[in-house]
Amino acid sequence: MTRERIPLDELRQRVAACHACPLADGRTNTVFGEGDPHARVLIVGEAPGKNEDLQGRPFVGAAGKYLDELLAIAGLAREDVFIANVLKCRPPGNRDPRPEEIQACVPFLREQTRTIDPEYIVTLGNFSTKFILKTDRGITGLHGQLHQAGRFKVFPIFHPAAALYDSKKREALENDFATLGEMLAREDAR
Ligand code: URA
């Protein structure tokens, strides 16, 4: 028997009420994610930063502005995709997520993925890629290639924040988003 999909609004309320790890104590807002609830592409980042915590929305800071540009390269706008993170609360000082925080939070991402049921999951950076692909391999060796996880096509890409500090990553990011756009267009044309 297949399990019922939990509506996104209900999941959002569960996230808002969550105290499963100590990150809940330091948050201003949870960041559930946003976008098309039936999106063909689910984008998965790492965790909210300062601006995201203040506004309760994903990717609204400098990395988010760049993500908008990258989406445009793939022929996409924010409203066309759903954007979520591995963690729904901000780690203090934007430190890396800890294994126990990931473990506490990922049931939400798992349910979001089941409910949205995208064709593609675009993982941004190491944390989301390792979780979705269940691998220890780093993003440098995985980005820009199509992988499969269950029924989902998974396309890992560097995290846009990485390019803010390393201009060489820009080219890889922009190429990978162009490839994503080509894959989407190719299948559209079928
Ligand atoms: N970085 C992320 O991984 N997610 C956000 O929402 C913002 C910055």
* pLDDT of res. 188: 73
User: 53: CA distance to ligand 1 center in Å?
Assistant: 10
| Among 46, 67, 105, 112, residue to substitute to test ligand 1 (most atoms within 8 Å of Cβ) | 46
Tokens (6 digits) for 146: 């199509």
User: 25: CA distance to ligand 1 center in Å?
Assistant: 19
* pLDDT of res. 62: 93
* pLDDT of res. 190: 62
User: 64: CA distance to ligand 1 center in Å?
Assistant: 7
* pLDDT of res. 187: 79
Q: Can you give the pTM of this predicted structure?
A: 0.96
Q: Which residues line ligand 1 (CB under 6 A)?
A: 31, 45-49, 52, 58-59, 63, 85, 161
pLDDT tens for residues 106-133? 999 999 999 999 999 999 999 999 999 9
As a whole number of angstroms, the distance between CA 105 and CA 109 comes to 7
- The torsion of the CA quartet 26, 27, 32, 33, rounded to 10 degrees, works out to -110
* pLDDT of res. 167: 87
Helix (H) / strand (E) element for 147: namely: strand 147-149
Helix (H) and strand (E) counts in the chain:
9, 6
Spans in the chain with pLDDT lower than 50: none
* pLDDT of res. 3: 84
> Cα 22 to chain center, whole Å?
22
